[in-house]
């Protein structure tokens, strides 16, 4: 039986507020260029009153991957938590524009919708101030059984493990997926995330998921080994599918006993690395679910990532279906 959704993502729902500023703004706010800083309620209120963003984009790692899959022409859905406030409405509108299904519950909460102020200086560098707000309070309430049952694959964001409520939502989603023959995939998300939840991620990797995404450093941390070739041999014994992105060294896919390697696509200039891993996952998942083979899936991942790192932001200016 064919399913309605190719993929369903579960992650932090964060609105990217794009703000073009000058160097003096960074100095006056004591911000280090090119870094990310978590901000509290007081700092959020101050920024809202002080600066007017030029645009809003529905962001978050797995949300970016779902937008990428939609750009390939797939029907996709996303579970995330927003408030019924200005930014929550902006988030819903942005995903709707990208043809990503999203259950906007229009409920008012104490915590604001998560927002990341993306400060862009004239040199193109991005400095981030992130307020998580209600994003990391995703709960079982946001899990819609029928959407998981009608999806070929779910992609879970590693960042969610910081929230006990979100972990319960993930457990419920995995349980439904297992009963529905829905494939389960996980993005390791971040090196520090892996170090905080290594035991849980290893259990998921070995016992609960079908497909794992991560970069070289995240895999080295997860398996506590600095030799990537030894890690590859260990992975090949687990009877799963693994995708390791390695930046300028390309990417590797391990599927059961088979190993596939891919060089990165050559480009003229890297403008912004934001979303590179997210869009790599989009391209790979598209090839994977459409049974194009692992070499082609790696190729689509590399080409999708190449598209995004040549522009500012994690939204391609052209349909990724043009890569097919």
Residue 169 lies in a domain: yes
**Phi-psi label, residue 294: left if phi above 0, alpha if psi -120 to 50, beta otherwise:** alpha
pLDDT tens per residue across span 87-124: 899 899 999 999 999 988 878 888 989 998 988 887 76
Residue 42 lies in a domain: no
pLDDT number for residue 242: 98
pLDDT number for residue 83: 94
Residue 242 lies in a domain: yes
Instruction: Enumerate residues 6+ apart whose C-beta is below 8 A from 275.
Output: 64, 308, 309, 313, 314, 315
Give, rounded to a whole angstrom, the gap between the first and last alpha carbons of the chain.
25
Question: H-type helices in the chain, by residue range?
Answer: 23-28, 41-50, 61-71, 86-97, 145-149, 164-179, 191-196, 198-207, 216-222, 228-235, 276-289, 294-308
pLDDT tens per residue across span 277-298: 899 999 999 999 999 999 999 9
Give the integer Cα–Cα distance in Å for 114 and 26: 22
Cα-Cα-Cα-Cα torsion 223, 284, 291, 183, nearest 10 degrees, comes to 50
pLDDT band at 1 (very low <50, low <70, confident <90, very high): low
CATH of the domain at 191: 3.40.1190.20
Residue 257 lies in a domain: yes
pLDDT number for residue 128: 85
Give the integer Cα–Cα distance in Å for 223 and 235: 10
pLDDT number for residue 42: 93
Average confidence score pLDDT of the chain = 91
Residue 19 lies in a domain: no
Q: Is the pLDDT of residue 258 over 80?
A: yes
**Residue 195 belongs to domain spanning:** 5-12+60-109+133-323
pLDDT tens per residue across span 220-240: 999 999 999 999 999 999 999
Residue 231 lies in a domain: yes
| Residue with more model confidence, 296 or 136 | 296
pLDDT tens per residue across span 167-197: 999 999 999 999 999 999 999 988 888 999 9
Q: Is the pLDDT of residue 9 over 80?
A: yes
* Region 58-80 average pLDDT: 95
Number of domains comprising the chain: 1
Give the integer Cα–Cα distance in Å for 304 and 72: 10
Residue 293 lies in a domain: yes
pLDDT band at 312 (very low <50, low <70, confident <90, very high): low
Residue 23 lies in a domain: no
pLDDT number for residue 219: 97
């Amino acid at each position: 039986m064919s399913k309605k959704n190719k993929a369903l993502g579960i992650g932090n729902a964060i609105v990217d507020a794009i703000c073009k500023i000058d160097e003096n703004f960074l100095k006056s706010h004591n911000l280090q260029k090119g870094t990310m800083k978590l901000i509290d309620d007081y700092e959020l209120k101050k920024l809202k009153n002080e600066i007017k963003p030029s645009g809003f984009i529905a962001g978050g790692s797995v949300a970016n991957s779902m937008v990428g899959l939609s750009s390939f022409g797939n029907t996709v859905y996303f579970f995330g938590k927003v408030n019924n406030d200005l930014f929550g409405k902006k988030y819903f509108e942005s995903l709707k524009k990208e043809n990503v299904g999203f259950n906007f519950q229009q409920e008012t909460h104490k915590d604001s919708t998560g927002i990341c102020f993306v400060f862009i200086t004239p040199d193109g560098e991005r400095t981030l101030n992130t307020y998580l707000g209600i994003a990391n309070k995703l709960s079982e309430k946001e899990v819609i059984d029928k959407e998981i049952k009608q999806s070929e694959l779910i992609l879970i964001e590693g960042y969610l493990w910081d929230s006990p409520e979100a972990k319960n939502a993930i457990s419920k989603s995995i349980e439904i997926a297992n009963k529905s023959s829905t494939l389960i995939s996980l993005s390791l998300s971040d090196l520090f995330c892996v170090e905080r939840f290594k035991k849980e991620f290893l259990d998921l990797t070995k016992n609960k998921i079908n497909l794992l995404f991560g970069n070289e450093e995240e895999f080295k941390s997860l398996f506590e080994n600095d030799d990537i070739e030894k890690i590859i041999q260990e992975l090949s014994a687990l009877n799963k599918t693994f995708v390791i992105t390695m930046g300028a060294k390309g990417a590797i896919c391990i599927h059961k006993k088979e190993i596939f390697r891919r060089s990165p696509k050559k480009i003229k200039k890297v403008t912004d690395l934001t979303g590179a891993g997210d869009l790599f996952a989009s391209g790979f998942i598209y090839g994977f679910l459409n049974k194009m083979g692992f070499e082609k899936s790696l190729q689509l991942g590399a080409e999708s990532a190449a598209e995004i790192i040549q522009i500012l932001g994690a939204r391609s200016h052209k349909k990724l279906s043009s890569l097919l």
